[in-house]
Amino acid sequence: MAADKMDYKKAREEMVRLQIEARGITDRRILDAMCKIPREKFVEEKFYTSAYADYPLPISDGQTISQPYIVALMTQCLNLKGNEKVLEIGTGSGYQAAILAELTRKVYSVERFETLVERAKKVIEELGYKNVNIFVGDGTVGLKDFSPYDRIIVTAAAPEVPSTLVEQLQENGILVAPVGSLYSQDLKVVEKKSGKLYTRSEGGCVFVPLIGKYGWKSNEF
């Protein structure tokens, strides 16, 4: 179908019903945010008509916008109530940051590619979100200036959870990250309680690598 003939609202509603709700995501606020945010704005024009498909899509710099279901699952794992300060590592297209902006008070996001940051900032601004700050940098070292964070979400595959991020997580905070090899990972949910870490796995996933000081080194693949 031609991009200008596509019914994006309908596509969004179908995506939420068939890909997200049907797979067990129950948090109404997440479902409503996904029904509201125009995902097509976060991809290149040639991908507009695939923006609501059940798989990741390419964005610039060899990176991807994650599959909608994975965005929903990671967001649900964060257990957001609305007043949290959230750090995202791996801004990519900015779509996950927009979902977070709908659901919580303040969002900081770090991306290593400047071109992605510029584009994400533009879309986020056009959509009117005032509670998102995006930075270029190596997110494996976190974002100390605004720490600690109530929630941290890592949207690229890490060999292990970077200890710097755990340090920047608030007491009673939750961190979500795909952890494993370069080819497949487990979605880990880490909770910090009385200084101790409690980790559970939410199943398998595949992400592009987290590259940086406490992630993969660019000569490792």
Structure tokens at 82: 């609305």
Of 200 and 213, CB closest to ligand SAM:
213
Of 173 and 215, CB closest to ligand SAM:
215
Per rule CB under 6 A, is residue 74 in the interface with ligand SAM? no
Per rule CB under 6 A, is residue 173 in the interface with ligand SAM? no
Q: 207 vs 31, 69, 155, 193, 220, CA distance in Å?
A: 23, 13, 7, 28, 16
Cβ proximity of 145 and 133 under 8 Å: no
Of 11 and 176, CB closest to ligand SAM:
176
Indicate which residues carry an active-site annotation: 66
Out of 37, 103, 152, 156, which residue is the one contacting ligand SAM (CB under 6 A)?
Answer: 156
Of 11 and 134, CB closest to ligand SAM:
134
Structure tokens at 76: 């649900």
> Shortest distance, CB of residue 196 to ligand SAM, whole angstroms?
26
- Of 76-84, 124-132, 188-196, 203-211, which part binds ligand SAM (CB under 6 A)? 203-211
Per rule CB under 6 A, is residue 212 in the interface with ligand SAM? yes
DSSP-derived secondary structure for the chain:
--GGG--HHHHHHHIIIIIIGGGT---HHHHHHHHHS-GGGGS-GGGGGGTTSSS-EE-GGG-EEPPHHHHHHHHHHH---S--EEEEE--TTSHHHHHHHHHSSEEEEEES-HHHHHHHHHHHHHTT--SEEEEES-GGG--GGG--EEEEEE-SBBSS--HHHHHTEEEEEEEEEEEE-SS-EEEEEEEEETTEEEEEEEEEE---B-BSTTSB-GGG-
Per rule CB under 6 A, is residue 142 in the interface with ligand SAM? no
- Of 26-34, 79-87, 135-143, 179-187, which part binds ligand SAM (CB under 6 A)? 135-143
Per rule CB under 6 A, is residue 100 in the interface with ligand SAM? no
Per rule CB under 6 A, is residue 211 in the interface with ligand SAM? yes
Per rule CB under 6 A, is residue 208 in the interface with ligand SAM? yes
> Shortest distance, CB of residue 22 to ligand SAM, whole angstroms?
21
The residues of the shown chain that bind ligand SAM, judged by CB under 6 A, are 63-66, 89-90, 92-93, 95-96, 110-113, 116, 138-140, 155-156, 207-208, 210-212, 215
